[in-house]
């Protein structure tokens, strides 16, 4: 369960001795390969932490700050990421199947080859998120800012819900183009999903 880094291990032991629930402060610490499955980590400070390979299956990270955290290959299956700040985080190859990303913030996030099968992404902000090679099969979207990058390997079968575009698409020839509105709906539909692209109001454009 414990990481090999002495400082991170000491911090976890202290947190567990205090009951092992609620805020955990591991800013900048190395918790690689630790197992925190089913842990109550609400309002924790994970900023810039090294969390590669960490098991957070079913963990509750409500309102936690994971800005800049490295979650490469982490297992967040069924985790509650409600209102979590994941800006500038690394989610390469991470597993978020069945997780709740309700009102979460993801800005400038590397989620290449991540798995979000059946993930609930509701009212979240996804801006400059790289989903190349990611699996979004059967994920549910609802009124999310969805300015993401996808490619021919990105899976969207069964993807459903509503989003604000546009989306940057890289085809199998490496050609980049931006699609929104009906074109984005068609792109998803041709790959087995069904989304409604909402019009962007003047307020959302910042006008």
Answer yes or no: is pLDDT of 206 > 70: no
Dump pLDDT digits (tens) for 73-86: 999 999 999 999 99
pTM above threshold 0.85? yes
What CATH number does the domain containing 4 carry? 2.160.20.80
203 occurs within a structural domain: no
| Integer angstrom CA distances of residue 134 from 11, 107, 146 | 33, 17, 14
Are 91 and 114 contacting, i.e. CB atoms less than 8 angstroms apart? yes
159 occurs within a structural domain: yes
Q: Sorting pLDDT into bands at 50, 70 and 90, what band is 203?
A: very low
- Residue 202's pLDDT is 40
Dump pLDDT digits (tens) for 182-194: 999 999 999 999 9
45 occurs within a structural domain: yes
What's the number of domains the chain is made of?
A: 1
Full domain range(s) for residue 164: 1-198
75 occurs within a structural domain: yes
- Residue 3's pLDDT is 76
């Amino acid at each position: 369960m414990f990481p090999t880094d002495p400082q991170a291990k000491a911090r976890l032991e202290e947190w567990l001795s205090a009951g092992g629930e609620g805020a955990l402060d591991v800013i900048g610490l190395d918790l690689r390969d630790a197992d925190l499955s089913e842990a109550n980590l609400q309002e924790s400070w994970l900023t810039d932490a090294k969390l590669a390979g960490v098991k957070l299956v079913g963990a509750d990270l409500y309102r936690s700050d994971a800005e800049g955290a490295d979650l490469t290959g982490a297992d967040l299956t069924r985790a509650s990421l409600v209102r979590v700040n994941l800006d500038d985080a690394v989610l390469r190859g991470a597993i978020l199947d069945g997780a709740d990303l309700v009102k979460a913030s993801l800005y400038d996030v590397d989620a290449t080859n991540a798995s979000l099968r059946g993930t609930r992404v509701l009212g979240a902000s996804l801006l400059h998120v790289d989903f190349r090679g990611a699996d979004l099969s059967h994920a549910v979207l609802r009124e999310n800012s969805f300015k993401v990058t996808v490619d021919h390997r990105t899976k969207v079968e069964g993807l459903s819900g509503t989003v604000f575009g546009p989306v940057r698409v890289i085809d199998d020839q490496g050609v980049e183009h931006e699609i929104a509105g009906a074109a984005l709906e068609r792109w998803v539909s041709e790959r087995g999903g069904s989304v409604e692209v909402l019009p962007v109001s003047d307020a959302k454009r910042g006008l």
